[in-house]
Structure 1
Amino acid sequence: MATPRNRAGSVRAADLRWRSALAVLDEMRREPGVTRAAVARRLGLSTGSATEITSRLRDLALLAETPAAATSRGRPTSVLTPHPDGPVVIAVDLRQEDWRCAVAPLDGKPDVAEAGTHRSRDPEQVVDTVAQAVRRLHRRYGDRVRAICVAIAATVQHGRVVQSAVLGWDAVDLAALTADPRVPLLIGNDATLAGLAEARQGAAAGAATVLHLTVEVGVGGTLVVDGRPMHGATGAGGEFGHLPFGDPRLRCPCGARGCWDLAVDGRAIARRLGEPAPRDPRTYAEQALARTPADPAVRAAVAHAARALARGLAGLINALDPAVVTLGSLAESLRAAAEPEFTAALADGLMRFRRPNPPPVLAAALGRDGALHGAVVTALDHVLTEEGLAAWAAQCSSHPPA
């Protein structure tokens, strides 16, 4: 019988093995197609240790190895890829007009498997339609599905949707989107998840403090510090679009007055042109941006929205002190369409000491896929833990992969 000291030593050794395994899997996730030799160098592993760890991960159906192309006379190595029978996560991107479901293995590359447009914005119909798609994917992948993450254009508090001004929803229960109660269902605001993806693997990868802004229907965004979004006390942080940077005479669908949302998107452009509020502000804005070069009135309306975006961004930079700013979706399009006005308004809004060296403002690298990538990142963060690997190993011992 093991003594308490021996048991403690065994636990520490097991924890160390899982930590080493997680470090290798994190490298595969950070750089899909990385070689075993490169991972060993980065992690300071000996050739023998790297071989032992990757062999154990192969046995657990967590990674596979294929010979790397020979580049020198050195010892041959292999490329690390997700195991074909290994864990996967399901990511859902639920937007104003449409939805997508993707599956991603441990390297974090989402593959969109199902998609559709909303026939109705009735929450029961939307949730039921998406739930059916998730169930089909769950049946296809079975116990390999380890987590589901939903990126939704809504305010999320304590992991639940409490309001969506975009979809016209109040509180909506998304529990139906998991077919198996044992599989965690994670829910996040779409702009927050897009910012997380940009900070971890996109335009701002490597920066310690990242401010992400996106414009779809209104303004969304997040502050990411050391790779983690700042969610606030209840998880509802980052609702930048509802800062009172807009016209206080205007009532936002969220219930507040003067929201920044109403000053920067397709609704703002239509209002400036004396046109009715569009049902689909994003598509309206895209069409207006396409008309900008040839239509002075549209160009002036777009420039007005770009200035409003830049002024608000300056305020956030003054308050949050990011190292890098990323602009996603129509936020970058507005800047590009009216760059002189955007640049001047941003500079005017910055505190004097910031103007000589403002943070770089970069175009988001992941485009409209940012929220989907962020959902994958969040789901894999949940799976790739010591507890998650131990649970997968226990499942493999009782049901070995084919």
Structure 2
Amino acid sequence: MDHRAETQRAQGALAMLRCAHRFPGITRAEAAARLGLSSGSAADIMSRLRQARLLAEAPAPQTGGRGRPTTALVPHPEGPLVAVVDISHATWTVTTAAIGGTLAPAAAHRHLGLPAETVLPSVRDALAALHGPRLRAVAVAIPGTVHGHTLVEATNLRWRGVDLRALTDLPLAVGNDASLAGVAEALRGAARDASVALHLTVEVGVGGVLIVDGRPVLGASGAGGEFGHLPFGDPARHCPCGAWGCWDLEVDGRAMARHAGRRAPADPRAYAERTIAAARSGDPDAVAACRATATALGRGIGALLNAVDPAVVTLGGLGADLLSVAAPALHAGVRRGAMAWRRDDLPPVLPAALGSTGPAIGAAESAMALVLTEQTVKV
């Protein structure tokens, strides 16, 4: 076989592999149709992928129709895995994902706000316990500004200038947790198939990402999406990031405490959870605090609609909770923040479908992108 034909076969195999990852459970016939392959070519490619221990086939669910039974493309039982590190404001987890993106169960470990040099050795040990020939890459989701493999700043963790390459010798991807959650929503969640999607996650502050045709817009240095540090808040209020008037300070537990006449909580996330639970039970002070916070969140969303023009907005974390308990206030805030001509055709604002697993799912996608390349897939 000449070099050109061999290259075409390799590209066909990589396309089949990516298709199986993007559409878990897709049948061989559906994949062939999507990729423009004949049934014979698809069968040949699958034979090569099985031999390379990359994909396998399993009986497809019965549809009740006539015709020959077909098979679904599934990860090979000895196929490649990626490791996923998900560091939140309070916990960290380490797990794995196979082709198709399904995460293995993982235990959460509390880090109690300890410094990076105390927490990361335990993370590295957990990764080392996973090492083996199947593990091909690692991705880290973390609540902070990321540049390359460096955590520039995680304001609420008080981590700065942390080089995460010390975690592993494998190929590594690092991303902001909210940005990765947005990638996951665009590929597998509530924003699936939207041409332009805006994802926002509220935890301690708010972060997010703009997704265009399934790809995140991360800026020149990869640090884009820090929407929480736009000056949508009180210009007299100082943010831990060093700026004044940040939106972060208007949309989480710190804002809820202010609206209730209380001091800033030591744990804004936990305080917000308690306030939202009280609002669900009808507590009037909690309801008022949630409505005021939801209005501030909505006004910022309206401003972002003016700036980036998404087809859909998805909300994760406390954003989804505020949407559930104070939707009228949030939507009213969106309308007030949006330009008048937009108000008759505002995009939907939806709760994130993937919930708290969004950052890890997005991280798995980033790690798998390092694996599913012409340089690493040999068939």
* TM bin (shorter chain): over 0.9
Aligned equivalents of 2:295 and 2:368: distance in 1? 38
Whichever residue aligns with residue 222 of structure 2, its letter is: G
Deviation per CA, 1:254-280, whole angstroms, max 9, x where unpaired?
111111000010011012212222222
The answer to whether the 8 Å contact 2:149/2:172 transfers is: no
Give the CA deviation at 1:73.
3.8
Deviation per CA, 1:126-176, whole angstroms, max 9, x where unpaired?
1111111111111xxx12111100000111013310101120111112222
Partner in structure 1 of residue 157 of structure 2: 167
> Which of residues 222, 233, 238 is equivalent to 2:209?
222
Partner in structure 2 of residue 396 of structure 1: none
The answer to whether the 8 Å contact 2:90/2:113 transfers is: no
> Which of residues 78, 82, 95 is equivalent to 2:75?
82
Q: Which moved more, 1:260-269 or 1:44-53?
A: 44-53
Partner in structure 2 of residue 199 of structure 1: 186
Aligned equivalents of 1:327 and 1:165: distance in 2? 21
Partner in structure 2 of residue 3 of structure 1: none
Partner in structure 1 of residue 124 of structure 2: 131
Give the CA deviation at 1:39.
1.3
Deviation per CA, 1:254-308, whole angstroms, max 9, x where unpaired?
1111110000100110122122222221111011011114221221111111110
Q: What is the identity percentage for the equivalent residue pairs of Structure 1 and Structure 2?
A: 53
1:339 aligns with 2:327: yes
Partner in structure 2 of residue 19 of structure 1: 11
Aligned equivalents of 2:46 and 2:242: distance in 1? 54
Whichever residue aligns with residue 127 of structure 1, its letter is: L
Partner in structure 2 of residue 121 of structure 1: 114
1:357 aligns with 2:345: yes
Give the CA deviation at 1:72.
3.8
Q: Which moved more, 1:69-78 or 1:129-138?
A: 69-78
> Which of residues 91, 95, 100 is equivalent to 2:88?
95
The answer to whether the 8 Å contact 1:214/1:221 transfers is: yes
Aligned equivalents of 2:43 and 2:374: distance in 1? 20
Partner in structure 2 of residue 155 of structure 1: 145
Give the CA deviation at 1:40.
1.7
More helix by share: 1
> Which of residues 43, 50, 62 is equivalent to 1:58?
50
> Which of residues 278, 289, 308 is equivalent to 2:296?
308
Whichever residue aligns with residue 358 of structure 1, its letter is: L
Give the CA deviation at 1:110.
0.9
Structure 1 vs Structure 2 CA RMSD: 1.5
1:43 aligns with 2:35: yes
1:256 aligns with 2:256: no
Aligned equivalents of 1:119 and 1:257: distance in 2? 27
The 5-angstrom pairing of residues 265-344 of structure 1 reads 265-292=252-279, 293-344=281-332
SS of the counterpart of 2:288?
A: helix
Whichever residue aligns with residue 131 of structure 1, its letter is: R
Moved >4 Å (runs of 4+): none
Aligned equivalents of 2:128 and 2:8: distance in 1? 36
Aligned equivalents of 1:197 and 1:15: distance in 2? 31
The answer to whether the 8 Å contact 2:19/2:31 transfers is: yes
Aligned equivalents of 2:7 and 2:36: distance in 1? 18
Whichever residue aligns with residue 263 of structure 2, its letter is: P
Aligned equivalents of 2:283 and 2:71: distance in 1? 56
**Residues 47, 243 of structure 1: CA spacing in aligned structure 2 closer, same or farther, 3 A cutoff?**
same
Q: TM-score, normalized by length of structure 1?
A: 0.91
Give the CA deviation at 1:50.
0.8
> Which of residues 159, 169, 177 is equivalent to 2:167?
177
Whichever residue aligns with residue 296 of structure 1, its letter is: P
Query: What residue ranges of structure 1 are gaps of 5+ in the alignment?
Result: 1-5, 394-402
Deviation per CA, 1:19-59, whole angstroms, max 9, x where unpaired?
21122122212222221122122222211111100000000
Partner in structure 2 of residue 400 of structure 1: none
Deviation per CA, 1:221-261, whole angstroms, max 9, x where unpaired?
00011111111111111000000111112111111111100
Aligned equivalents of 1:102 and 1:268: distance in 2? 34
SS of the counterpart of 2:138?
A: strand
The answer to whether the 8 Å contact 1:159/1:235 transfers is: no
Partner in structure 2 of residue 32 of structure 1: 24
The answer to whether the 8 Å contact 1:212/1:326 transfers is: yes
Give the CA deviation at 1:119.
4.2
Give the CA deviation at 1:101.
1.0
